[in-house]
Amino acid sequence: MDPARVARWVEGFADRHGPSTCTPQEYGLLLTAPDGATAELHAPPGVPAAELHAPPGVPGAADLDGFLAAVSRPRRIGLLLARKGAVAVGIAAGAKLVVSKVDTRYVQGRTAAGGWSQQRFARRRDNQAKAAVADAVEVTVRLLLPEVPTLAALVCGGDRRAVDAVLADRRLAPLSVLRAERLLAVPEPRHAVLLAAIPAARAVHVLVRDPDPDSPVKP
């Protein structure tokens, strides 16, 4: 959910279930309604823990307004999308893509052929895949590594093994530290896919649990 829509959604949750209490959590904020319904509001990558776990009396995720302010604040995040022979790398400043590069290298698909031809094909495909990863590493080193001090997080997407292979390069260790747990489900990386990844990376994830019908409603 876009951070700008969260306040309206919370109002609707209160209309359906009653005024909620807010409890700060590691992931963000927990809303608990009088009828037992709950809603977990998971902050997007890059929101500092200090903003999500503010002590009493300090604005932060302990109250809804603080949470909304934290998740709505524009931040610079790195984007790394990788799948098979394609990689898309970018930097988003808030909702705007300010740096981008897409690179594609041909990698053969699998074949049902057997015997010696199959082994030769497998070696060729493996070499193509390694070359694609090497290209992706160089793009990432060139675009994202110098920007590490300015990035709040690195959000990845596509095939997890392909992303892991890129970030396995020792030069990218400072970038790996910023890697968020969130993995975006994206098709083969292209510029349009990179643009579409920005709202997905900035989204607040909401998990709603309906009240237990056997539980008494709190007064």
pTM for the model: 0.84
Residue with token string 């999500």: 52
Specify the pLDDT at position 62.
Answer: 57
Q: E strands within the chain?
A: 21-24, 28-32, 38-42, 76-83, 86-93, 96-104, 153-158, 179-184, 205-209
Domains of the chain, by residue range, sit at 3-73+204-209, 76-201
pLDDT digits (tens, 9 = 90+) for 44-90: 999 987 777 665 555 554 578 888 989 999 999 999 999 888 899 99
Instruction: Identify the pLDDT of residue 122.
Output: 58
Higher pLDDT, 62 or 135: 135
Percent of residues, the chain, with pLDDT higher than 90: 66
Distance of CA 127 to the CA centre of its chain: 30
The per-residue pLDDT for range 107-126, each reduced to its tens digit, is 555 555 554 456 665 566 56
Residue 213 confidence class, pLDDT cut points 50, 70, 90: low
Q: Which of 132-136, 182-186, 210-214 has the lowest mean pLDDT?
A: 210-214
| DSSP 8-class letter at 68 | H
| The pLDDT value given to residue 219 | 43
The candidate with the shortest Cα–Cα distance to 138, out of 165, 161, 166, 99, is: 166
| Overall fold of domain 76-201 | Nucleotidyltransferase; domain 5 (3.30.420)
What is the distance in angstroms between the CA of the first residue and the CA of the last residue of the chain? Answer: 31
- By mean pLDDT, which of 51-60, 136-145, 189-198 is the weakest? 51-60
